Structure 1
Amino acid sequence: MLNDQFGRQFNYLRLSITDVCNFSCSYCLPNGYQCDTPRNFLNKNEISTLVNAFAELGTKKVRITGGEPCLRNDVTDIIKLCKNTPGIEKVAITTNGFNLLKKIDEFAEAGLDALNVSIDSLNPNLFKLITGHDKLTLILKGIERAVELGIKDIKINAVLAKQFNKNQLKDFLAWVKHHKVTVRFIELMETGDGATFFEENHLSGQTVKAQLLAQGWLQVVRGKLNGPAEEFCHPDYDGRIGLIMPYSKDFCKSCNRLRVSALGKLHLCLFAEQGIDLRELLNEDDTAATVKAIRAAMGNKEISHELGKRLTGATTHLAMLGG
């Protein structure tokens, strides 16, 4: 198992396969994707070497992310590659869902275990205002199809922000009443390009947590492969509510994930100052050397991010590393 100097175990890889995104969400890419980095993203051979190295280090779960990972034509092949890697037990993908209805059948056939879809509002007009796209109805149909196909681990990610928070909790509660999915509210995180939006829109998830507890929701024990979300269930609801609160005390205490960018850089934290370049080792198909490099890097992992001090590291926007 891969450990750091603080005794934390890391069994979860978040793998970005592109930093390109076709949405222009107000909290991430309000002006759309700017193509300000090289686009020689990891190929399937390099991804295979990387995932095998992480599997040797005890990684059990791989989440494919972006940008928008479904913009890559070979995303289904990458899902299958990860699923067929010995030691990997769970393969997930995070997507904006723009072509989910079209692709979900082949994702399921490739072995996809878990699906996260970013939906910041169930109001079609507000959804279009936030993302720049009128695709909410199509995305919801894609989620319905995922349920039909038997994908049981389905989560909806919704960012908490003052600008579009009115009735958000009420609307999502009504939706999970009869849908076996988890809606996770994520506190808005400051990024290098998003300081002003953060100052104007940040909301604490503790307010939502207090409302849930007051309405009889009960906190669920976190699974060993799960991330830092606090999840809640209610006997009268088919679905669940989750909260990701990176500004809360001891948020990083249970950290179990590492990140690799689409350009092959290992990031020990979403808000690290820089990534550690693995590309040459991956290009040489050197799994053993990649394992060694990842182990060596762990000595530099910090105990926590410093978002509370408004230090955002190298993360200019969330699409560059997949959140």
Structure 2
Amino acid sequence: MKGYSKSFLILLRATALKSDAKLPLIRPIFGNESRFYSDVATVANKADLTSAAVKSAAPLNDLLGRRHDYLRISLTERCNLRCQYCMPAEGVSLTPKPDLLTKEELYRLVNVFASLGVHKIRLTGGEPTLRSDLAEIIEQLCSVPGIRNVAMTTNGLVLTRRLPAYQRAGLSAINVSLDSLQPDKYERMARRPGLKKVLAGIDLALQLGYRPVKVNTVLMRGFNDDEICDFVEFTRDREVEVRFIEFMPFSGNRWDDSHMVPHEEALRAVRLAFPRLAPTLPRACDTAAVWQVEGHAGSVGFISSMTQPFCSSCNRLRLTADGNLKVCLFGAAEVSLRAALRAGASDAEVETLIRTALRNKKPQHAGMQNLARMENRPMILIGG
């Protein structure tokens, strides 16, 4: 679109200087682009949002000085499971394929993020292994200058067939979602069978040398809170890191704090059963507080997103399958980078969008009770 650069920057400057309040949907440049959400913060009157001003490779810092070097990318909204905390019982309306990022658009955006200091990528979904071209995507992303780590979060159902190809493509780390070690409970939560396949996939990942294999377990009272010690026992002979995650509110998952197991309660249960539990050294920007039972090959982590948020060290950005940038998992605000690309934005203008959105990242999320009342996507449409 000839002349896009000038009109884009005029609009961005004009809207950013209107007020300190959150801005409404921005649509004028993008025609009927109905999903172009913008939660752009106020930019100081002296700020020069010209192409020349964004050519530096300054880190992606927000106004609180948090450096963002980790990008989570949802590759698809589709999934072969229907986990209750992730997908509403009635399902979700999927984005039409023309409105999803193409591989070429994804590759271009990753190059932009990498030039701004992002060095870690995590591929999510939906379920990323449903992409038949996943190995190609992994290989392509690994080739981007500056990208040092390409990881994946998966439900693990097809790992025994496909993980070797992903490893050859360059996949460096893997997380497997697993909420029960009992077949009937697994099927009740996932609304599909498959526990044996997931366990076999975890064992294959260990055989292929992935260390540790992280196992994500969403704890829900009355469902799997009686399996906490079983999961700890799972770490005895396997070099896995079981990560107990507090149940989080998203649209359609019928969140209630009475169903949430606070991490301190889970930790007490583990300490009671395994007195030789000890904390490990903390890792920078890690979401989990990790502990290990003496003599166990693996470890256990506790992710307290609701009761003890770790927002002050957050280094994550999220790119949804339809190309929207989310600077906070729990924030409804989104900026459509896909719309910008298709309207002819230069890399410098995409950088301006990213930096301006990041200026409005809040010090922390709104708190679990407020989040339960706020508008947001279902987890499956965000990518976790």
Q: TM-score, normalised by structure 2?
A: 0.79
**Which of 195, 200, 204 is matched with 1:141 structurally?**
200
Which residue does 2:380 correspond to in 1? 319
1:262 aligns with 2:321: yes
Give distance in 1, aligned partners of 2:187 and 2:114: 39
Taking a change above 3 Å as real, the CA distance of residues 104 and 306 of structure 1, as seen in their structure-2 partners, is: same
Preserved contact between residue 177 and residue 238 of structure 1 (Cα < 8 Å): yes
Which residue does 1:55 correspond to in 2? 114
One-letter code aligned to 1:134? P
1:298 aligns with 2:358: yes
One-letter code aligned to 2:355? R
Range with greater deviation from structure 2 (36-45 or 255-264)? 36-45
Give distance in 2, aligned partners of 1:254 and 1:210: 25
**Which of 6, 29, 37 is matched with 2:95 structurally?**
37
1:181 aligns with 2:244: no
- Secondary structure in 2 aligned to 1:18? coil
- 1:1-323 paired onto structure 2 within 5 Å: 1-31=59-89, 33-39=91-97, 40-195=99-254, 197-213=255-271, 215-224=275-284, 226-283=285-342, 284=344, 286-312=346-372, 313-323=374-384
Give distance in 2, aligned partners of 1:58 and 1:110: 23
Preserved contact between residue 24 and residue 32 of structure 1 (Cα < 8 Å): no
Range with greater deviation from structure 2 (212-221 or 260-269)? 212-221
Kindly tell me the number of residue pairs found equivalent between the two proteins.
321
Larger Rg, first or second structure (1 or 2): 2
- Secondary structure in 2 aligned to 1:128? helix
Give distance in 2, aligned partners of 1:319 and 1:57: 27
Give distance in 2, aligned partners of 1:108 and 1:32: 35
Identity of aligned residues (%): 36
Taking a change above 3 Å as real, the CA distance of residues 2 and 25 of structure 1, as seen in their structure-2 partners, is: same
Cα deviations by residue, 1:286-316 (Å, 9 ceiling, x for unpaired): 4332222211221111111113342254423
- Secondary structure in 2 aligned to 1:20? coil
Unaligned runs of 5+ in 2: 1-58
State the 1:198 CA deviation.
Answer: 2.5
State the 1:104 CA deviation.
Answer: 0.2
Give distance in 2, aligned partners of 1:135 and 1:194: 22
State the 1:87 CA deviation.
Answer: 0.7
- Secondary structure in 1 aligned to 2:266? helix
One-letter code aligned to 1:303? P
State the 1:213 CA deviation.
Answer: 4.6
Preserved contact between residue 88 and residue 252 of structure 2 (Cα < 8 Å): no
Give distance in 2, aligned partners of 1:260 and 1:119: 24
- Secondary structure in 1 aligned to 2:380? helix
Unaligned runs of 5+ in 1: none
State the 1:181 CA deviation.
Answer: 0.7
Taking a change above 3 Å as real, the CA distance of residues 75 and 32 of structure 1, as seen in their structure-2 partners, is: farther
State the 1:266 CA deviation.
Answer: 0.5
- Secondary structure in 1 aligned to 2:213? strand
State the 1:58 CA deviation.
Answer: 0.8
Taking a change above 3 Å as real, the CA distance of residues 281 and 36 of structure 1, as seen in their structure-2 partners, is: closer
